Amino acid sequence: MIKAIWNDAVIAQTEHFETVEGNQYFPRESLNMEYFRPSETHTICPWKGEASYYDIVVGDQVNPDSAWYYPITKPAAENIRGYVAFWRGVRIVETADA
């Protein structure tokens, strides 16, 4: 199992994930949505498509645009459609939890 942790909160955890370009992508249903706030940010990846972002909010701390996902992907990235990845200080840890 892997967990995404920011500001001492487990914001996502899953046994099933995809790894692309060194990033672990979590299925949307593995997110603890109380910590996620939609962002207006969008970026383009030439082979994956247009990414949308979430701010992560834990208590009164905000980590802007620290989670991203591809709601619609190009064919080469179909395996991560709707999956969410993290950066900007979000730690991904592997645990022995089952």
Encode the chain (98 residues) as per-residue pLDDT tens digits.
999 999 999 999 999 999 999 999 999 999 999 999 999 999 999 999 999 999 999 999 999 999 999 999 999 999 999 899 999 999 999 988 65
d(CA 81, CA 66): 18
Contact between 6 and 87 under an 8 Å Cβ cutoff? The reply is no
User: What pTM value is reported for the model?
Assistant: 0.94
Farthest-apart Cα atoms in the chain, separation:
39
Q: Which domains does the chain have, with CATH numbers?
A: 2-94 (2.170.150.40)
Return all residues near 22 (Cβ < 8 A) that are at least 6 apart.
none
d(CA 27, CA 50): 18
